[in-house]
């Protein structure tokens, strides 16, 4: 994986970048990497890239996802250490964390500019190229994808159902 990263990151990063981030920060990323960069260099680069290219709203979302990972991880560790005696409680507690993580991940994919980059970015490109000046990228998405708010509404709906099932199951 690490060997592929250098080639993968630059190729995927530039595609959404022109419209979203200043080119200087973008270019600084690939520049520091050479073909035989060390693993730590690559990791640092990826981290810097993340810090610089990710919008704050997406980072809040990522923090929430990290929180979920932490909660799920602690629950799993407890299961390993102390046994799974009320097994349904373990399943619902752990599945609540995992399910919330998955839902949040899909929300991130639908709302974050970098996460949804591949499909939407290209679309916005084509839209921009076609001369249709659109204020926001999501405006252009509307015809094919979903708006951020619609995605958020779906997210809330899904989360409530998840919570219902988990509470039902934990007894």
Partner 1 sequence: MRWCPSLLLFGFLAAVNALSSSGNRLLVVLEDAEEKGSYSTLWGDLEGRGYNLIFESPKNEQLSLFELGDRAYDHILLLPPKSKGFGPSLSPKNLVDFMNSDGNVLLALSGKSTTPSAISSLLLEFDLHLSTDRSSVVVDHFNYDTLSASDKHDVLLLPRPGSLRPDTKNFFGGEGVLAFPSANPHTLGDNSLLAPILRAPTTAYSYNPKEDSNSVEEVFATGSQLALVSAMQARNSARFTLLGSVESLQDKWFSATVKAPGGNQAETANRDFAKQLTAWTFKETGVLKVGKIEHHLAKDDITVEDLNPSIYRIKNETVFSIEVSEYNYDRFIPFTVPTNDALQLEFTMLSPFHRLTLHPTATTANSTIYNTAFTVPDQHGIFSFRVNYKRPFLTYLEEKHEVTVRHYAHNEYPRSWKISGGWVWIAGLWSVVGGFLAFVFVWLYSVPASSVAKGKSKKMQ
Partner 2 sequence: MQWWHSILQLSLLASSALPVAASSWGFADATVSVQTKGAGVGAGLKEQIPSNGALSTPVPLGNADTLKIVLTSQEDKSAKSAHQVFLLLQDPGSGLDISYPFSVKGNGKSRVELTWKDLPTQFLSVSKSIDARILIGSFGSSKAYDEPAFQLSLARGADEPVPTFEVSRYGKLPEIHHIFKDDAQSPPIVITLTFVAMVLATFPILAGVWLYLGANVCHLSTAMKSAPLPHAAFLGSLLAIEGIFFLYYTSWTLFQIIPAVAAVGVVTFISGSRALGEVQGRRLAGLR
Binding site for partner 2 (CB under 8 A): 56-57, 59-60, 63-64, 66-67, 70-71, 74-75, 77-78, 81-83, 85-86, 135-136, 138-139, 147-150, 152-153, 156, 160, 163-164, 167-168, 170
| Nearer CB in complex with partner 2: 43/70 | 70
Write down how long the chain is.
171
Q: How far apart are CA 79 and CA 121, in angstroms?
A: 42
Q: Residue 94: which of partner 1, partner 2, none does it interact with, CB under 5 to 8 A by kind?
A: partner 1
| Nearer CB in complex with partner 1: 78/125 | 78
Question: Does residue 42 contact residue 33 with C-beta atoms inside 8 Å?
Answer: yes
Place of tokens 């690490």: 2
Provide the token pair at 125.
């490109």
Provide the token pair at 127.
């839209």
For the beta carbon of residue 107, count every other beta carbon within 10 angstroms. 22
| Nearer CB in complex with partner 2: 70/130 | 70
Question: Does residue 50 contact residue 12 with C-beta atoms inside 8 Å?
Answer: no
| Binding mask of the shown chain, residues 37 to 76, with x at each position contacting partner 1 by CB under 8 A | ------------------xxx--xx--x--xx--xx-xx-
| Nearer CB in complex with partner 1: 41/125 | 125
């Amino acid at each position: 994986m690490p060997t592929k990263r250098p080639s993968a990151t630059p190729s995927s990063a530039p595609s959404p970048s022109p419209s979203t981030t200043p080119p200087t920060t973008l270019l600084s990323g690939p520049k520091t990497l050479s073909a035989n960069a060390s693993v730590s260099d690559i990791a640092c680069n990826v981290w810097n890239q993340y810090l610089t290219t990710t919008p704050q709203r997406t980072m809040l979302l990522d923090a929430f996802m990290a929180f979920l990972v932490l909660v799920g991880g602690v629950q799993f560790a407890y299961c390993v250490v102390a046994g799974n005696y009320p097994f349904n409680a373990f399943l619902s507690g752990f599945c609540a964390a995992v399910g919330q993580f998955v839902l949040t991940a899909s929300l991130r994919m639908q709302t974050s500019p970098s996460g949804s980059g591949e499909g939407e970015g290209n679309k916005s490109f084509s839209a921009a190229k076609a001369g249709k000046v659109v204020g926001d990228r999501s405006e252009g998405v509307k015809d094919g994808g979903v708006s951020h708010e619609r995605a958020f509404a779906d997210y809330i709906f899904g989360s409530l159902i998840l919570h219902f099932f988990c509470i039902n199951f934990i007894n």
